Amino acid sequence: MTDRPTLTTTAGSPVPDNQNSWTAGERGPVLLQDYQLIEKLAHQNRERVPERVVHAKGWGAHGTLKITGDISKYTKAKCLQPGAETPMLARFSTVAGEAGAADAERDVRGFALKFYTDEGNWDLVGNNTPVFFVRDPYKFPDFIHTQKRHPKTNMRSPTAMWDFWSLSPESLHQVTILMSDRGLPVDPMHMNGYGSHTFSFWNDAGERYWVKFHFKTQQGHAHYTNEEADQIIGKTRESYQEALFGGIDKGEFPRWTVQVQIMPELDAEKTSYNPFDLTKVWPHSEYPPIDIGVMELNRNAENYFAEIENAAFSPSNIVPGIGYSPDKMLQARVFAYADAHRHRLGTHYETIPVNRPKNEVHHYHRDGQMNVYGGIKTGNPDAYYEPNSVNGPVEQPSAKEPPLRIHGDADRYNHRIGNDDYVQVTALFNLFDDGEKSRLFANIAAAMSGIPQEIADRQLAHFDRVHPDYGAGVRKARETMTGREPAISVTAKTPQQAAE
Ligand code: NDP
């Protein structure tokens, strides 16, 4: 007799022998009726869900958002009222590397947050940078293709990256951050998070404000140089998981100060930049950050796959008092993230425990794979359509947000016209001290190593426009660096040249 639990099949039947297959004779063969063996092998075959196309490698933990400031005049969101405490989940990630990639690689970091509020899940799916490489979602798949493996060589291609960037000057702001010290944080705790997009707040009076979210690390910023990261990767590929999981395990709970920048609705018509352009920040001097609370991570997942790999964040998840904005990239992500999860995890991915809202969910969606929580969520089996006269769930008009003011005619506007891609990069460059500048130049020179000269020249011209010292610094760093052959050979022509 033993007090250990009985091993069972997935159907609950006791397993008599978990060491030996069921064979005809001692020497085999195995019988097809050995269902325990077949179940074990079949499950192993299905242990992976499709890897995320971007942000595949991630690290996460549970925590709490505590609101201490008062922004009740801007938003009716209950989770943002003074004193509110909301359980939450964070997942950090690199963008380009696959699920097995090393953690300490130079890359943008995802900073995805899910707040389990009383009014439904609110997800803020940001990065550790306030801006992004492209401003029009039409260019997103092209951009990501340049970060992923070349279809023929199956290797990363610096040539493709710089070809795309040099033809897309809107990327310059994010490229500069990526190649600066902040492009390679030592772990998730020592970096900021940014909602990046412009969202909106709205209050009970139906007034709308534009808002940007910031999460400022209380641990301080800490970064690796490329050389330090090479050393780390040589020792461990899991340095972020070790630091985040290990720290929380020891009771070291990382914290971030939560801030918002608020812009009155009509200011959006007056700013010199498009405040809905994801390649731009709102200067702090114009829209000062307001402290509103603290986010703390204090609990590790019990099961990485169930709680971090299965975590499905989507900017479509908002709650009353928070809204979207005209930001084109945000609009596309509102669609694309939920769509990716339906593909990756299944139609009912929001019923996976880590994704389930803490409040009651009532809807009329039906059936489909993994509809495991009782089908139609109306509380009444006869209420499977709407409108109905059997007391099924009905809409809540108070959750309706104010009208979104839209200007202009429908057209395919050239997003490269009328947007200054340099001024804010100059402001950033001017924040760097001499050491940061020289590391920026060296990082770029290393990343450009081996690319065709025409592409390098096209990119250097952008750096020159930011600041003469920027272009000159990168040129000098390139001269002192030994080159290597391009990973692939491409002809560096603009689309116009190629067409001639
Ligand atoms: P500020 O002087 O007020 O700087 C704003 C931000 O710059 C601060 O949040 C600070 O982050 C960040 N910053 C400071 N030093 C560095 C650095 N070495 N590398 C990266 N970021 C740094 O000026 P502006 O608001 O006018 O912004 C100037 C530039 O700063 C922008 O063009 C943008 O590139 C960058 N920036 C701006 C942000 C914004 O929301 N306005 C946010 C982040 C960066 P921290 O407090 O963590 O040190």
Asked whether 407 and 265 are in contact (CB, 8 A), the reply is no
Task: Quote the ligand 1 centre to 376 CA distance (angstroms).
Answer: 48
Residues 451-483 pLDDT 10s: 999 999 999 999 999 999 999 999 999 999 864
Separation in Å, CA 177 to CA 102, 267, 420: 20, 27, 17
Confidence (pLDDT) at 407: 82
Tell me, what DSSP letter sits at residue 255? E
Q: Which domains does the chain have, with CATH numbers?
A: 58-399 (2.40.180.10)
Task: Quote the ligand 1 centre to 423 CA distance (angstroms).
Answer: 13
DSSP for 202-254, written as a single string: E-TT--EEEEEEEEEESS---B--HHHHHHHHHH-S-HHHHHHHHHHHTT---
Confidence (pLDDT) at 375: 53
Separation in Å, CA 220 to CA 130, 216, 223: 17, 8, 10
Nearest CA, atom 1, ligand 1: 284
Residues whose CB is less than 8 angstroms from the CB of residue 408 and which lie 6 or more positions away in sequence, other chains included: none
Residues 394-415 pLDDT 10s: 999 999 999 988 888 999 999 9
- When the pLDDT of each residue in the chain is averaged and rounded to a whole number, the result is 94
Specify the ligand 1 atom closest to the Cα of 432.
18
* Average pLDDT of the segment spanning 163-175: 98
Q: Could you tell me if the CB of 182 is within 6 A of ligand 1?
A: yes
Task: Quote the ligand 1 centre to 315 CA distance (angstroms).
Answer: 24
Percent with pLDDT over 90 in the chain: 88
Q: Could you tell me if the CB of 216 is within 6 A of ligand 1?
A: yes
| Separation between Cα atoms, residue 255 and residue 293, nearest integer Å | 10
**Which of 55, 214, 223, 341 is an active site residue?**
55
Is residue 127 annotated as part of the catalytic site, yes or no?
yes
Please list the residues that pair with 63 across neighbouring strands: 88, 297
* Average pLDDT of the segment spanning 21-38: 96
Task: Quote the ligand 1 centre to 420 CA distance (angstroms).
Answer: 18
Residues 113-134 pLDDT 10s: 999 999 999 999 999 999 999 9
Residues 265-316 pLDDT 10s: 999 999 999 999 999 999 999 999 999 999 999 999 999 999 999 999 999 9
State the distance between the two ends of the chain, measured CA to CA, in whole angstroms: 84
In this predicted structure, the answer to whether residue 1 has a pLDDT above a threshold of 60 is: no
In this predicted structure, the answer to whether residue 374 has a pLDDT above a threshold of 70 is: no
Task: Quote the ligand 1 centre to 431 CA distance (angstroms).
Answer: 8
Please give the structure tokens belonging to residue 381: 């089996």
In this predicted structure, the answer to whether residue 149 has a pLDDT above a threshold of 80 is: yes
Please list the residues that pair with 199 across neighbouring strands: 211
pTM of the model: 0.94
Q: CA nearest 113: which of 143, 71, 136, 79?
A: 79
**Which of 121, 127, 274, 310 is an active site residue?**
127
DSSP for 135-201, written as a single string: SSGGGHHHHHHHHSB-TTT-SB-HHHHHHHHHT-GGGHHHHHHHHSGGGSBSSGGGS-EE--S-EEE
Task: Quote the ligand 1 centre to 447 CA distance (angstroms).
Answer: 23
Nearest CA, atom 34, ligand 1: 428
Q: Could you tell me if the CB of 428 is within 6 A of ligand 1?
A: yes
* Average pLDDT of the segment spanning 56-64: 98
Confidence (pLDDT) at 418: 87
**251: exposed, middle or buried (C-beta count within 10 Å: 0-12, 13-18, 19+)?**
exposed
Nearest CA, atom 37, ligand 1: 281
| Separation between Cα atoms, residue 282 and residue 292, nearest integer Å | 18
Nearest CA, atom 16, ligand 1: 431
Q: Could you tell me if the CB of 192 is within 6 A of ligand 1?
A: yes
Name the 3-class secondary structure at 446: helix
Q: Could you tell me if the CB of 416 is within 6 A of ligand 1?
A: no
